[in-house]
Amino acid sequence: MNDAPIGVYDSGLGGLTVWREVRRMLPSESLVYLGDGKNCPYGSRPREEVRRLADEAVASLVAQGCKMVVVACNTATAAAIDFLREKYAPMPIVGMEPAVKPACLNTRSGVVATERSLDGELFRRTAAKYGSGVELITAPGRGFVELVESDRESTPEAEQAVRDAVAVMLEHGADQIVLGCTHYPFLLPVLERVVAGRGVEIVDPSPAVARRVVQLLDQYGL
Ligand code: DGL
C-alpha cells in the first residue's frame, strides 16, 4: 500500500473539476491540490512561460512527496506535458486530453478552450486524427477563467460571455460542445441554459481523466 498523495495541479480553481472526479473514483487516496492563483490565467501567456510555471508547480508537488501528478489544466498540458513526463520520469503524469475524439464520434462539434490550448500541437494532432469529415468549430472562452476565479459564474455577465463564445457554434449547428478548459465545467448551468432546446451535448473530459488516474495507479503498482 503506497499512501503517498496524488498531486492535482491547475492554473487556479479549474482543476477542482478534475479533483472532484478523482475523489469520487478514489475516495481513500490522499490528494494535494495546487492552484497557481498568483499566475492565473495562463490562457494567453507565451508557451515558454506556461512551461516554466508548470515545471515549478510539479517540482513543488514532488517535494511534497506526491507519487503521481495530474496536470488538470489543458493549457499547461498543451505547453508542457512531454517536457514534464521526461523530466520527472518515472513518476506518472496524467494530462488533459482534448475530448475531441468522443465528440467527433458523435458528429459535428464545437470546442471552447483557452487560446493557448487551441493553437497547441496537442489539439492540432487530436483534431487531425479524429476530426476528418467532421466540422470542428473552435472558440476561445473569453473571460471564462476570470469569471470562475472571481466567483461570478452565475451573473448576467457570465451568461453574455458564454452566449458570445458559443454563438458561431450554434449558427453552424454544432451538436457537441467540448469543454477544453478545466474551469469551464463551473459554467455548466449557464451553458446548459444558453444551448437549451438546440440538441447540443456538452462533453466534459474530467471523468475520463480520473479513469486514467485509476488505470495508472494500478499499472505502476501505486
Ligand atoms: N484550467 C485551465 C485550463 O484547463 C485554465 C487556463 C487559464 O488559466 O487560462 O486550461
pLDDT tens, residue by residue, 15-43: 999 999 999 999 999 999 999 999 999 98
87-114 confidence digits (pLDDT tens): 999 999 999 987 777 777 776 666 666 6
For residue 183, give the ligand 1 atom closest to its CA: 1
CA of 172 to the centre of ligand 1 (A): 26
126 Cα: distance to centroid of ligand 1 (angstroms) = 18
Annotated active-site residue 40? The verdict is: no
How close is the Cα of 117 to the center of ligand 1, in Å?
A: 9
Give the separation between CA 38 and CA 11, rounded to whole angstroms. Answer: 8
Q: Is the CB of 183 under 6 A from ligand 1?
A: yes
The candidate with the shortest Cα–Cα distance to 180, out of 171, 191, 170, 195, is: 191
Closest CA to 16 of 66, 95, 70, 58: 70
**pLDDT value, residue 105:** 75
Ligand 1 site, residue 75, Cβ cutoff 6 A: yes
Give per-residue pLDDT as tens, 54-81: 999 999 999 999 999 999 999 999 999 9
pLDDT above 70 as % of the chain: 96
Which pLDDT band holds residue 122 (cuts at 50, 70, 90)? Answer: confident
